[in-house]
């Protein structure tokens, strides 16, 4: 025990560095604009106020933005988990002509920065009549090259013997994928799920551009709209909004992260 005190010290320092901005954000959401701008800054709110939250929820349509964000993030996550694992499995375990070429193609798209394809994608989606709709918000992100890459690498690490055992026992190919192989990739699925959900939840530019009316806005877009003016910023509202935006992400993370470690322990034959 004597020699481990410094480990705790490092741990505590790291924790402070990570958690302090969060604490500042949460505390800041209960401060008035005047107090937030004061020098020197205060740590605890002097006169805690719920006004920022009241403003936030009275401003237009907050439940609607929340619903939009949730719907889009869940759909995109579900799509990525389904399709990326299917493609990843096919690229890793099934033998067919052009498999490697296909994989290289997927990898190639990973190299192109999203900003370059942004405008062409927007034109494409608009011409398909999906501007200002949920399909327009969801469809372009249903499958990501990164997800395919992640799942393929993970499937590659699983032994082929498991599939052979399934075939011997008379399972269908779909059964082998869904009942044997897929459950083994739980840690990869959890990682992909967290990353995709986060990415979609925080996405700003695409929803901003694709939404043509306010009722299709997602949380980050609405937050930017109401907290930032041309010349002045409402910091209190921004903090309160950020707290509301962050909570579901935290919950999501807590749900998924248990599987990340759990999965590793139960992986197959050795």
Partner 1 sequence: MITHSIRRRLVIGSAAITATALALAGCGRSEETPSGGSQATTTVSEGPATGNLTVWAMGTEGENLPKLMQQFQQANPGVKVSVTPIPWDSAHNKFTTAITAQTLPDAAMVGTTWMGEFADLGALDPTPQGFDNESFYPGALDTTKVGGTQYGVPWYVETRLVYYRKDLATKAGITEPPTDWDGLKAMAKAMKEKAGAKYGINLQPGGSGSWQTVMPFAWSAGANLTNEDQKEFTFDTPEMVEGLRYYQSFFTEKLAGTDLPPNQTEAQFVNGQVPMFISGPWMAGSVAKLGGDAIKPNIGVFEIPKNKTSTSFVGGSNFVVFKTSKNKDSAWKLVKFLSDPKTQAAWFKMSSDLPAVKSTWEDPSIASDPLLPVFGKQLESAKAPPAVVNWEQVANAFDTEIEKMAKAGQSAEDTAKATQTQATSIGTGS
Site residues (CB under 8 A) for partner 1, limited to 26-45? 33-34, 37-39
Asked whether 221 and 195 are in contact (CB, 8 A), the reply is no
* Neighbour-count burial of 207, counting CB atoms closer than 10 A to its CB (0-12 exposed, 13-18 middle, 19+ buried): buried
What is the total count of residues that contact partner 1 (CB under 8 A)? 35
Does 212 interact with partner 1 (rule: CB under 8 A)?
A: yes
| CA–CA dist 270, 259 (Å, integer) | 21
Distance, CA of 78 to CA of 56 (rounded, Å): 29
Q: Does 183 bind partner 1 (CB under 8 A)?
A: no
- CB 119 to partner 1: min, Å: 4
- Based on the shown chain and the rule CB under 8 A, indicate whether residue 134 belongs to the binding site for partner 1: no
Tell me: does residue 225 bind partner 1 (CB under 8 A). yes
Stretch that binds partner 1, among 17-25, 133-141, 188-196, 210-218 (CB under 8 A): 210-218
Question: Which of these segments, 44-52, 99-107, 161-169, 211-219, binds partner 1 (CB under 8 A)?
Answer: 211-219
Q: What is the DSSP string of 131-200?
A: TTSHHHHHGGGSS-HHHHHHHHHHHHTS-THHHHHHHHTT--HHHIIIIIIHHHTHHHHHHHHHHHHHHH
One residue of 3, 63, 229, 270 binding partner 1 per CB under 8 A: 229
- Residue 237: CB atoms within 10 A of its CB come to 21
Residues that bind partner 1 (CB under 8 A): 33-34, 37-39, 59-60, 113, 115-116, 118-120, 122-123, 126-127, 131, 204-205, 208-209, 211-214, 221, 224-226, 228-232
């Amino acid at each position: 025990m004597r020699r481990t005190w410094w480990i705790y010290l490092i741990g505590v320092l790291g924790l402070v560095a990570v958690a302090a901005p969060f604490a500042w954000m949460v505390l800041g959401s209960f401060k008035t604009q005047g107090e937030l701008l004061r020098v020197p800054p205060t740590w605890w709110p002097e006169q805690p106020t719920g006004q920022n939250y009241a403003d936030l929820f009275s401003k237009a349509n907050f439940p609607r933005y929340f619903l939009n964000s949730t719907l889009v993030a869940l759909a995109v996550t579900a799509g990525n988990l389904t399709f990326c694992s299917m493609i990843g499995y096919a690229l890793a375990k099934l033998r067919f002509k052009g498999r490697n070429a296909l994989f290289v193609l997927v990898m190639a798209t990973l190299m192109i920065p999203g900003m370059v394809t942004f405008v062409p994608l927007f034109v494409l989606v608009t011409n398909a009549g999906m501007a200002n709709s949920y399909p327009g918000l969801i469809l372009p992100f249903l499958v990501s090259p990164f997800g395919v890459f992640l799942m393929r690498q993970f499937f590659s690490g699983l032994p082929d013997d498991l599939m052979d055992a399934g075939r011997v026992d008379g399972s269908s190919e779909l059964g082998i994928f869904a009942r044997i192989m897929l459950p083994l990739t739980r840690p990869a699925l959890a990682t992909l799920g967290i990353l995709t959900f986060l990415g979609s939840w925080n996405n700003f530019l695409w929803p901003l551009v694709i939404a043509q009316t306010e009722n299709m806005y997602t949380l980050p877009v609405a937050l930017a709209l109401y907290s930032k003016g041309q010349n002045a910023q409402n910091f209190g509202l921004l903090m309160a909004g950020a707290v509301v935006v962050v909570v579901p992400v935290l919950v999501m993370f807590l749900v998924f992260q248990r599987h990340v470690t759990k999965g590793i322990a139960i992986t197959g034959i050795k």
